[in-house]
Amino acid sequence: MNKILEDIRSTPQLLLKTFLVVLGIAWLVTLFPREVKFKYEFQKGMPWLHEKLIAPFDFAIYKSVDELQEEERAIRNDHSPYFVRRAEIGEKQLHDFEVSFRAIWDSLHYSDEDGYPEFTQKAELEFGQEVLGEIYRRGLIESHESIDGKGEQFVLNISDQQVSEEYELNEIYLISGAIQFIENQLSENSQFNKTFIETLLAEHLRPNVFYDKTTTDLSLQERLKDISLTYGKVAKDLKIVDQGEVVNDDLFRKLSSLKREYELRSGNMENSAVLIFGQTLIVFICISVLLLFLTIFRKDVINENNRFYFVLLVFVLTVSFSALPSVFDGLDIMALPFCILPILIRTFFDTRLAILTHVIACLLIGFLAPNGFEFVFVQSVTGIAAVYSLVSLRKRSQLLTTSLVIFIVYSATYTGLSILHEGDWASINWRKLQWFGASAIFTLLVYPLIFIFEKMFRFVSDVTLMELSDSNAPLLRDLSSKAPGTFQHSLQVANLAEAGASAIGADPLLVRTGALYHDIGKMLQPQYFIENQLGGHNPHDELAFGASALVIIQHVLDGVQLARKANLPSQIIEFIQTHHGTTHTRFFFVKAQQAGETVNEKDFQYPGPIPFSKETAVLMMADSVEAASKSLKEYSEENIDHLVEGIIENQRKEGQYEEADITFKDISTLKKLFKGMLKNIYHVRIEYPEEE
């Protein structure tokens, strides 16, 4: 009957989870392009592993994107710019030169006595006009970026009266060249007043050849349009490649072109139910593998709603990011921070789940990414390395290290693949490194995301646990001042529990933090707990046994109330609730029975619940054996062994560990560990047998 009621209560949540999974699958299917995928996989530099391939139809051999970009770059660099010559500027400058010359000459009143006995004003004026006229006949070009840094043989087009002619750059004067020409002419005619003529000519140098952007751009676009997208074609029924043949550059072009043509000829298949069914099946299988793993190995995730919703959400969002390059032109898919997924999963769960989730996501994205095999390989290796570099996130600086690891692994795996495919260093596209750097930097966004998801899904990360386990945290500071004995007890329990958790593969930081807070309820009435009693006075001597039991039990309820008031994570509150499980305050229960009182066993029983995880079970054991060890009259090896065995076995027989994912082997390991640690604490010496 209870099983039926439990199934009825869980049905709405099961339906909601099923609906969200179906919705996630439907969303991911919409990201797939509605085109048939080429059924052969191939890599440059690797053997063709399929049967002999015959061309199924005529198809063109397309140039690669890099080759087309290189051709475009070459055309832009070598393209002859267009300029226009404005003859009226030269005429005006010649006229202005004559006017200025005569005005200055007259103002200076040159005469024979001034050193010019055999020359006249006319000769000097004609000389200046001849030099300036020669400059404007060839053309004085304005400075422009299209000719900056070009050689003397660089060709440009100059139009004059609607007629365009090609000129080499050395046939046109730049300002510097025109001044040099003037100096050379004056050197050959030293009889003229050099300073006067040179200064006057320089003042009348104005460009008369100007850059024509409109004509240049039109001409460039025409040349770019003429770039051929293909090298040639392959005729139908012609052999393309044999099985085992190495895919060289030529074969890679042909195979890539066949793949492109094959997918183009499949046409627009948005309404193809068969194609959509195939894509849905692929997505369904991938998500089913993830769900199957959770069902078998991580039942806590599949059963706890918040955890399940979180894993599903970050998985779907990560795969969805792969559609961004189709929205933003020029964005490389390798720039996207896919490693955020395994880092987030590892922060809140474990390494196995983080790696599996990341690999499945990469497999799905591989259907959407260009060069799917390369993408899956690079991203899978990098994601695994990122997880291993971040065993536990306890400091912000660890994310910087992980980001550096991501960049190094990205670069190394890409370089290795490029050398494998191309066979030399020169063919490696080093520009890819900038995208890897961007991805590594964007990965740092995981830190604020951790904080957001902690609040959204009520998770607790290692960073939060480190902050909570600081002895200066408010509740721990209050505990140490109000109940110093309990605080010392909590520290001892924390050390035992942390070591125990590490020994059986539980979360040691979570256990340690829970142990520090498990007895905070005692600070409200510290005098009723023996570790805080001084001077031998025990207030329980003044209470009935039932009342004493109630005070002791109340520390669990008080602790939960204090923790909730301080907004402690629910994971820490669980340790407070379960560290006594449903055990009894046995001392007062036995005393009441011995006194002949009529007792109700439930009045002496803790409210529970019992531990439901490895971590909470470890704390119950550590707390019980540490507290009981204080009552030993003699700290011998035999007494400690008997104490640990008795306490843990009694708890097991009472069913305190039935809900926890803990094995007999784990319990045996913990017993052995606690015995050893307690012996070290109380300095128990091992008795060696005497020699005969």
Q: What is the mean pLDDT of residues 338-352?
A: 90
The amino acid at 161:
Q
Instruction: Give the whole-angstrom CA distance, residue 225 versus residue 366.
Output: 33
Please report which confidence band the pLDDT of residue 228 belongs to, taking 50, 70 and 90 as the band edges.
Answer: confident
Residue 350 pLDDT class (50, 70, 90 cuts): confident
Place of tokens 């002419």: 185
465-514 per-position pLDDT tens digit: 888 888 889 999 999 999 999 999 999 999 999 999 999 988 899 999 99
pLDDT surpassing 80 at residue 190? no
Pairing of strands 163-168, 155-160: antiparallel
Contact 406, 440 (CB under 8 A): yes
Q: What sign does the dihedral 542-544-545-550 (CA atoms) show?
A: negative
Structure confidence at residue 423 (pLDDT): 67
Answer yes or no: are the C-beta atoms of 303 and 317 closer than 8 Å: no
410 close to 439: Cβ distance less than 8 angstroms? yes
Where do the DSSP E strands lie in 172-244? 209-211, 230-234, 239-241
Rounded to the nearest integer, the mean pLDDT of the chain is 84
- Mean pLDDT, rounded, for 614-638: 89
| Residue 278 confidence (pLDDT) | 86
pLDDT of residue 320: 93
Residue 539 to residue 532: CA distance in whole angstroms: 12
pLDDT the model gives residue 690:
47
pLDDT tens readout for residues 650-668: 999 989 998 888 999 999 9
Are 435 and 338 a contacting pair, CB within 8 Å?
no
* CA 91 vs CA 122, 130, 165: distances in Å: 19, 12, 21
pTM over cut 0.75: no
Domains for the chain: give ranges and CATH numbers: 2-34+271-457 (no CATH), 82-211 (no CATH), 475-681 (1.10.3210)
Q: Are 604 and 549 in contact (CB under 8 A)?
A: yes
For the stretch 95-134, pLDDT in tens is 988 888 888 877 765 554 555 444 467 888 888 889 888 8
pLDDT at 22: 94
Residue 80 has pLDDT above 50, yes or no: yes
* 232 beta partners: 61
Tell which residue, 37, 35, 30, 33, has the closest CA to residue 267: 35
d(CA 140, CA 174): 6
The per-residue pLDDT for 517 is: 94
Cα 22 to the center of its chain, rounded Å: 27
| CA pair distance 644, 500, nearest whole angstrom | 13
Number of H helices, E strands in the chain: 28, 8
Cα→Cα distances 72→155, 167, 231, 268, 661, Å: 18, 23, 16, 30, 64
Instruction: Return the structure tokens found at 30.
Output: 């919409």
Residue 306 reports pLDDT greater than 60: yes
